[in-house]
Amino acid sequence: MIDRFVPNQYFPSVFDISITQLKEKGITSIIIDLDNTLIGWDMDEATAELKNWFDLLHKEGFSITIVSNNSRHRVRTFADPLGISYIARAKKPLGGSFEKAASLMDAATEDTAVIGDQLLTDILGGNRRGFHTILVAPVKQSDGAATKFNRFMERKVFKAMKRKGLMEWKENEKTK
């Protein structure tokens, strides 16, 4: 059961995701969460670093769709200036928003990565449907948003990730 929450890859931030590796895996399309994956709750527009990152992904030929559970207004404010497609009020991990996003990009499930900061929405939703899942550490930790159950699941999943060697970067960072 815990496997459903374990991502295929784990990085400290979106900027650490290896584009070369994605290409080697045959990934052509990216479904990405907004809140705490790209920006914190207290921001509404992309930073210059994010703009460059999206430019790079586009240049490398990736299709991108933002899939967020947040409001249409919130997601549009971020996505429109960047010219990126989006699905708001997505009801992750339920509903068919990931399939819808993939079909809008004309991408097969196995060619599509789901990137997000939450195990219970992004990773569970992506794993259940067979997408390549990438967890990133939240841009901004907010204790209010994390339920006891979330924390409990996180501990279990992080243990499983450690066993699979997905947590090694963190161990290494600490010893530096």
Residues within the interface to Mg ion (CB under 5 A): 33, 35-37, 117-118
To Mg ion, the closest distance from the beta carbon of 20 in angstroms equals 25
Query: Which is nearer to Mg ion, 28 or 134 (by Cβ)?
Result: 134
Query: Which is nearer to Mg ion, 105 or 115 (by Cβ)?
Result: 115
* CA distance linking residue 88 with residue 34, whole number of Å: 10
Query: Which is nearer to Mg ion, 38 or 57 (by Cβ)?
Result: 38
To Mg ion, the closest distance from the beta carbon of 164 in angstroms equals 22
To Mg ion, the closest distance from the beta carbon of 50 in angstroms equals 15
Query: Which is nearer to Mg ion, 36 or 127 (by Cβ)?
Result: 36
To Mg ion, the closest distance from the beta carbon of 41 in angstroms equals 10
